[in-house]
Amino acid sequence: MTDMAGPSENTTLRQRTTASSKPEYPTKLTEDVEVKEVVTSVFTPAEQKQSLTVLAGLTVLALISRFYKINEPDEVVFDEVHFGKFASYYIQGTYFFDVHPPLAKMMLAAMGYFIGYDGHFLFDNIGDSYVTNNVPYIGLRALPAFLGAMTVPIVYMTLREAGYPIVTCALAAFFITFDNMLVTQTRLILLDSMLVFFIVCSIYSYVRFHKTRNNPFSVQWWTWLLATGVSIALTTSVKMVGLLTVATIGVAVLCDLWVLLDIRRRLTMQEFMRHFWARAFALIFVPMVIYLFWFYVHFAVLTHSGPGDDFMSSEFQETLHGNTMADGLYIKYGDNITIRHKDTSVYLHSHPHNYPRRYEDARISSAGQQVTGYAHADPNNIWHITSDDPSNPKTGEQVMNKDVIRLLHVSTSSWLLAHDVASPTMSTNEEITTYSTEEDGSRLNETTFQIMLDSGGDKFRTMASAFKLIHVDTKVAVWTHPQKLPEWGFEQQEVNGNKNILQKTTLWWSDSVEGKDAEEIEQEAAKPVKKRSFFLKYVELQGKMFSHNAGLTGKHPYQSQPIEWPFLTKGISFWTQNDTRKQIYLLGNPLGMWIAAGGLAVIVGIVGADVLSRRRGYYPLNQDVQRRFYSATGFFFVGWALHYLPFFLMGRALFLHHYMPAQVFSYMILATAHGFIFVEGVDAPISEPGPEVRPRRLQRAVVPTLAYISAAILAAIHLASFLYFAPLAYGTSAIDVPGLARRRLLSQWEFHFAK
Partner 1 sequence: MNNGTSSAVNQATGPVFRGPPARTSSKGTMGQDPLQEASHDATGTGNRTSLDEKRDKINTRYPGEDHSQFTKFKSRRSLAWYQDQELQVVGVITAVALVVRLWAIGYPTSVVFDEVHFGGFASKYIKGRFFMDVHPPLAKMLIALTGWIFGLDPSFDFKEIGLDYIEPKVPYVPMRIMCGLMGVAVVPMAFYTVRNSGHSLHAAALAALLVLFENSIVTQSRLILLDSPLIFFTAWTVLAWVNFHNQRHDPFSDDWFIWLFLTGVGLGLSFSVKWVGLFIIATIGISTLNQLWTLWGDLRITPRNWVNHFIARAFCLIAVPMAVYMLMFEIHFLVLGSSGDGDGFMSAPFQMTLGHSLQDSPLSVAYGSTVSIRHQGTQGGYLHSHGSNYVTGSKQQQVTLYPHKDTNNDWIIQKRDGTVPEDLEYIANGDYVRLMHVSTRKRLHSHDHKAPVTETEHHFEVSAYGFDGFAGDANDEWRVEIVDHDGSDAASGEMLHTLRSKFKLVHANMNCDLFSHKVKLPKWAFEQQEVTCMRSAVVAKTTWVIESNQYDSYPEDVQMVNYKKPGFLSKFVELNKVMWTTNAGLTDSHPYDSRPSSWPWMRRGISFWGKDQKHIYLVGNWFTWYLSSAAVVLYAAIRCLLFLRDKRGYHDNAGGLREYYELSGGFFFMAWVFHYVPFFLMGRQLFLHHYLPALYFAILLFSVTFDLGCRFIPKRFRLVLAVLVVLTAIFVFRTRAPLTYGSEWTRPECEASKVLTSWDYDCNQFPQSYDQYASYAATAGDKREEQEQGYERDQEAEEGEEYDQLLEQAVPAAEMQQAQIGEDTALAQEEQSGGAYASDDSQITDASVTTDGQEPSSDSDIDDEELVEEA
**Contact window for partner 1 (CB under 8 A) among 146-154, 504-512, 533-541, 623-631:** 623-631
Site string for partner 1, 625-654 (x = CB under 8 A): -xxx-xxx----------------x-x-x-
Backbone angles phi, psi at 449, to 5 degrees: -130, 145
Contact 509, 340 (CB under 8 A): yes
List, in sequence order, every residue forming a beta bridge with 422; answer none if it has no partner.
430
Task: List strand residue ranges (DSSP E) for 270-366, in order.
Answer: 336-341, 347-354
Give the three-class secondary structure for 652.
coil
Cα 2 → chain centroid: 46
Smallest separation, CB 76 to partner 1 (Å): 10
Smallest separation, CB 458 to partner 1 (Å): 26
Site string for partner 1, 156-185 (x = CB under 8 A): -----xxx----------------------
Contact 350, 369 (CB under 8 A): yes
CA pseudo-torsion sign 553, 559, 560, 566:
negative
Of residues 693 through 712, those in contact with partner 1 by CB under 8 A are 693, 696
Single out the residue of 22, 36, 357, 376 in contact with partner 1 (rule: CB under 8 A): 22
Could you report how far apart the first and last alpha carbons of the chain are, in Å? Answer: 62
Contact 450, 400 (CB under 8 A): no
**How many chain residues interact with partner 1 (CB under 8 A)?**
77
Of residues 97 and 449, the one with the C-beta less far from partner 1: 97
Backbone angles phi, psi at 747, to 5 degrees: -70, -15
**Contact window for partner 1 (CB under 8 A) among 45-53, 420-428, 517-525, 531-539:** 420-428
Of residues 36 and 615, the one with the C-beta less far from partner 1: 615
List, in sequence order, every residue forming a beta bridge with 338; answer none if it has no partner.
382, 512
Of residues 233 through 292, those in contact with partner 1 by CB under 8 A are 256, 258-259, 261-265, 269
**Contact window for partner 1 (CB under 8 A) among 6-14, 98-106, 348-356, 396-404:** 98-106
339 forms part of the interface with partner 1 (CB under 8 A): no
Of residues 113 and 753, the one with the C-beta less far from partner 1: 753
Nearest to 465, CA basis, from 552, 399, 383, 559: 399
Residues in the chain: 755
**Contact window for partner 1 (CB under 8 A) among 106-114, 192-200, 360-368, 394-402:** 360-368
Of residues 459 and 627, the one with the C-beta less far from partner 1: 627
Of residues 527 and 744, the one with the C-beta less far from partner 1: 744
**Contact window for partner 1 (CB under 8 A) among 94-102, 324-332, 391-399, 727-735:** 94-102
Nearest to 247, CA basis, from 563, 647, 671: 647
Of residues 342 and 499, the one with the C-beta less far from partner 1: 499
**Separation between Cα atoms, residue 154 and residue 158, nearest integer Å:** 6
List, in sequence order, every residue forming a beta bridge with 382; answer none if it has no partner.
338
The helix/strand count (H/E) of the chain reads as 21, 14
**Separation between Cα atoms, residue 47 and residue 54, nearest integer Å:** 10
Of residues 496 through 555, those in contact with partner 1 by CB under 8 A are 499-500, 552, 554-555
Of residues 148 and 685, the one with the C-beta less far from partner 1: 685
Of residues 662 through 691, those in contact with partner 1 by CB under 8 A are 682, 684-687, 689-690
Of residues 418 and 684, the one with the C-beta less far from partner 1: 684
Smallest separation, CB 485 to partner 1 (Å): 15
CB within 8 Å of 502: residues ≥ 6 apart: none
Smallest separation, CB 655 to partner 1 (Å): 6
**Separation between Cα atoms, residue 463 and residue 141, nearest integer Å:** 41
